[in-house]
């Protein structure tokens, strides 16, 4: 008769102090790491088994993308400052969230401009293996940035309406996702543009 | 709990380190020297940046170690994938 209440109440958290949502978020991020790892290893395999690979620095606009990389890093800083602010009860945290989302949108805008330039130069996903892998990797990353921007905009609106006053796990989870997307870009920038 | 976290100063310091590492990466990209050495340096710099973000911005340094294990496990699989790829390459032809 009282077994039902006993089972729901007596499940102990094996990791004291850790919100289950955060644990779940990391499991999700692990699956995302595997997703991008698969793409990156595929790129490396194709690149080293293809005899004619273009000199990427001749094709890609490295200064532009370096600036874009910097923008994404700044957005990560804005995100972490939002988290720091909400943790300390600082009421300016929604502005940091807004800054993060805006920087994310600027990143996407620059990437769209870069793609447009490349397509006009005749480099399309169907052009060669470089085109196919380049658009696949940057495209999937861009989709993740877009998803992150939507999530952070939702968080921002909720924050301006007085949300996250009692618990700020929502800001923390959005932050974890955003930083993950930044980490992926750190590797993609090196592997696609610099090597 | 707040005390165990990084402070605002730490976050800013990490940001400066990330910016400097990115500048070094881009500078290296414009030099041509030993290709293998160049790749190793660039991958090392990328790993350092990723490590900074994961440890400080994603708080892995301050969180329960299980989260680092969850996030790190797929990386072990990547190493295994790359080793298999290398053997495949070496035994071709």
Same domain, B39 and B49: yes
Tell me: do B5 and B48 sit in the same domain: yes
How many whole angstroms separate alpha carbon B18 and alpha carbon B5?
A: 19
Across the interface, do B1 and A17 touch by the CB < 8 Å criterion? Answer: yes
Q: Summarize pLDDT for A139-148 with one digit per residue, the tens.
A: 999 999 999 9
The partner residue sitting opposite A37, judged by closest CB among B11, B49, B74, is B74
- B20 and B58 inside one domain: yes
Task: Tell whether the torsion through CA atoms of A151, A152, A158 and A163 is positive or negative.
Answer: positive
Q: What is the total count of domains within chain A?
A: 1
Whether residue B54 sits in one domain with residue B33: yes
Assess whether B58 and B68 both reside in one domain: no
Q: By the CB < 8 Å criterion, does B60 face chain A?
A: no
One domain for residues B56 and B12: yes
Asked if A177 is an interface residue toward chain B (Cβ–Cβ < 8 A), one would say no
Confidence of residue B20 (pLDDT cuts 50, 70, 90): very high
pLDDT at position B93 over 70: no
Residue of B nearest to A191 (CA): B43
Asked if B5 and B59 count as a contact pair (C-beta separation under 8 A), the reply is yes
Q: Which single residue is written with the structure tokens 């990143």?
A: A107
Q: How confident is the model at residue A96 (pLDDT cuts 50, 70, 90)?
A: very high
- DSSP symbols for A31-65: HHHHHHHHHHHHHHHHHHH-S----HHHHS-HHHH
Mark residue A186 as left, alpha or beta (left: phi above 0; alpha: psi -120 to 50; beta: remaining). Answer: alpha
Verify whether the Cβ–Cβ distance B50 to A187 is below 8 Å: yes
| Residue among B34, B11, B8, B45 at smallest CA distance from A74 | B11
Residue A135 lies in a domain: yes
Q: Collect all residues of chain B within an 8 Å Cβ-Cβ radius of residue A194.
A: 25-26, 28-29, 42
Q: What is the CATH number of the domain that holds A171?
A: 1.20.120.80
Contact yes or no for B49/B22 (Cβ under 8 A)? yes
Query: Residue A194: inside a domain, yes or no?
Result: yes
Per the domain annotation, does A48 fall within a domain? no
B19 contacts A70? CB cut-off 8 A? yes
- Provide the percentage of residues in chain A whose pLDDT is more than 90: 82
Confidence of residue B89 (pLDDT cuts 50, 70, 90): confident
Going by pLDDT thresholds of 50, 70 and 90, the confidence category of residue A9 is low
Whether A89 contacts chain B with CB within 8 A:
no
Is A24 within a domain? no
The verdict on a CB contact (< 8 Å) between A48 and B63 is no
Mutation target to probe the B interface, by most B beta carbons within 10 A, among A14, A17, A26 is A26
Residue A105: pLDDT over 60: yes
Contact A152, A97 (CB under 8 A): yes
Are B28 and B14 in a shared domain? yes
Determine, yes or no, domain membership for A186. yes
Tens of pLDDT along B28-55?
988 878 888 998 999 999 999 999 999 9
Split into its structural domains, chain B has a count of 2
A151 and B CB contact within 8 Å: no
Domain that holds residue A73: 60-195
Of A99 and B6, the structure prediction assigns the larger pLDDT to: A99
**Confidence grade of residue A1 (pLDDT, cut at 50, 70, 90):** very low
Region of A169 (left: φ > 0; alpha: ψ -120 to 50; beta: rest) is alpha
Instruction: Tell if the pTM clears 0.90, that is, is over it.
Output: yes
**Same domain flag for B68 and B92:** yes
Same domain, B44 and B75: no
Average pLDDT over residues A110-133: 95
A186, A192, A193: best to mutate for the B interface, most B CBs within 10 A: A186
Whether residue B84 sits in one domain with residue B46: no
In a domain, A183, yes or no: yes
A153 domain-assigned: yes
Which structural domain, as residue segments, surrounds residue B52? 1-62
pLDDT per position as a tens digit, A41-83 = 999 989 988 988 998 888 999 999 999 999 999 999 999 999 9
Same domain, yes or no: B57 and B79: no
Question: DSSP labels for A99-161?
Answer: HHHHHHHHHHHHHHHHHHHHHHTT--TTT-HHHHHHHHHHHHHHHHHHHHHHHHHHHHHHHHT
The answer as to whether A14 is a domain residue is no
Check CB contact under 8 Å for B71 and A26: yes
Q: Are B9 and A174 in contact (CB under 8 A)?
A: no
Give yes or no for a contact between A139 and A115, defined as CB atoms under 8 angstroms apart.
no
């Amino acid at each position: 008769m009282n077994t039902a209440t006993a089972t729901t109440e007596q499940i102990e958290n094996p990791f004291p102090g850790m919100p289950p949502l955060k644990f779940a978020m990391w499991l999700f991020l692990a699956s995302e790491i595997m997703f991008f790892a698969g793409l990156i290893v595929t790129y490396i395999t194709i690149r080293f088994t293809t005899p004619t690979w273009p000199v990427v620095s001749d094709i890609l606009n490295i200064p532009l993308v370096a600036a874009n990389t910097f923008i994404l890093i700044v957005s990560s800083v804005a995100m972490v400052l939002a988290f720091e602010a909400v943790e300390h009860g600082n009421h300016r945290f929604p502005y940091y969230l807004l800054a993060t989302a805006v920087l994310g949108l600027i990143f996407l805008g620059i990437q769209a401009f870069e793609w447009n330039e490349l397509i006009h130069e005749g480099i399309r996903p169907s052009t060669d293996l470089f085109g196919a892998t380049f658009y696949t990797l940057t495209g999937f990353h861009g989709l993740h940035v877009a998803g992150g921007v939507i999530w952070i905009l939702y968080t921002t609106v909720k924050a301006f309406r007085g949300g996250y006053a009692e618990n700020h796990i929502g800001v923390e989870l959005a932050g974890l996702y955003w930083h993950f997307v930044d980490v992926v870009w750190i590797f993609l920038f090196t592997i696609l543009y610099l090597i | 709990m707040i005390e165990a976290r990084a402070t605002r100063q730490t976050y800013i310091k990490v940001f400066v380190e990330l910016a400097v590492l990115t500048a070094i990466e881009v500078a290296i990209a414009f030099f041509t020297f030993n290709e293998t050495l160049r790749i190793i340096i660039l991958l090392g710099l990328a790993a350092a940046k990723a490590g900074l973000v994961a440890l400080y911005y994603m708080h892995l340094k301050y969180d329960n170690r299980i989260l680092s294990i969850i996030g790190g496990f797929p990386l072990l699989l990547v190493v295994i994938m790359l080793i298999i790829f290398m053997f495949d390459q070496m035994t071709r032809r």
